[in-house]
Amino acid sequence: MVTNQHSGRRNNHYHPMAEINVTPLVDVILVLLIIFMVTSPLMVAGVTVDLPESSTSPIGGKEEPLSVTIDAKGNIYIQETKIAKADLVAKLTAITGEKKDTRIFVRGDKKIDYGQVMAVVSAINTAGFSKVALLTDPNGR
């Protein structure tokens, strides 16, 4: 009679291992992470504009922004000084000292044509100033 050499064991049946191989899962997650890291900067499109916050709290910054105002008659002002439209870029460049990252707030009277306001914003952007914001009245007056 043949004796069982593993007499100490009662159950000699095969038992499957209950482990999950996570290596493929980690590989897929890392590949997706790399794809999103590479493509997310490409999803930002449009003109860079420094928009003001919608709350009534003041916008923080290291330095005071320049204010360009267009009144109801179409006159252009830098701070409180009236200037000609042709001199706008030259005056801004002289005031900022070639610092193109200076914040510039553009305020336009609500009676003025939107095209005139956008012409001023376009001239400022064309000159290389990248932080331009259009201001509105937060109280809706």
In a domain, residue 15? The reply is no
pLDDT at residue 16 is higher than 80: no
Cβ-contact 76, 70 below 8 angstroms: yes
In a domain, residue 41? The reply is no
Range of the domain at 122: 66-134
pLDDT at residue 140 is higher than 60: no
In a domain, residue 111? The reply is yes
CATH code for position 129: 3.30.420.270
Considering its fold, how many domains does the chain have in total?
1
Closest CA to 76 of 120, 111, 38: 120
- What would the pLDDT profile of 48-67 be if each residue is shown by its tens digit? 434 344 554 555 556 677 88
- What would the pLDDT profile of 109-120 be if each residue is shown by its tens digit? 877 788 888 888
pTM (predicted TM-score): 0.52
Cβ-contact 100, 124 below 8 angstroms: no
CA–CA distances in Å: residue 104 to residues 35, 40, 93, 101 = 36, 28, 12, 9
